[in-house]
Amino acid sequence: MATRGKAINVKIATSKVITALENRLAELEANYKKQDENEAKYQTSIEAWKKELFAYAIANISKAENLRTNYREWTKNLNVDFDLTVKDGEFPAEPQRDFEQLHAHTYREMKEEMENAIRILKMTDEDTVSTSTYNAIARYL
């Protein structure tokens, strides 16, 4: 256990760090390429969930409280709004994203930083990576 004020000095083989960064970069690229496909699947599951939720609400409309209506004559739309008091688990659960969404600029920044780190580490003659260098790239591993 480190005492206060004393830094921990960790030595990690440069080849291991390069391999880990290359693997993480490949994973980042693959995830980014699949992002549109994953988002489409998520949106499909959201649409299915909405249909289940509507079916649940309509089936339980007899339990409705605080019924509100609003008719818009210029658009010929009737808006009906009501509240259902339910316990957690009685209605369909909303799907959650099981993937991380990256904006293009975030992806490019992360990719560039990882590629630069790999390039620099491949140029070094050192067998181990210093703690400060490791700290700089640790967020990508």
Sign of CA dihedral 104, 36, 18, 115: negative
Q: Are the C-beta atoms of 96 and 38 separated by less than 8 Å?
A: no
pLDDT tens figures, 38-51:
999 999 999 999 99
pLDDT tens figures, 2-53:
556 666 777 788 888 999 999 999 999 999 999 999 999 999 999 999 999 9
Q: Which two tokens stand for residue 34?
A: 């699949």
Check whether 131 has a pLDDT greater than 90: no
Check whether 71 has a pLDDT greater than 60: yes
CA 126 from centre of chain = 36
pLDDT for the residue numbered 86: 87
Taking residues 85-109, report their average pLDDT.
Answer: 89
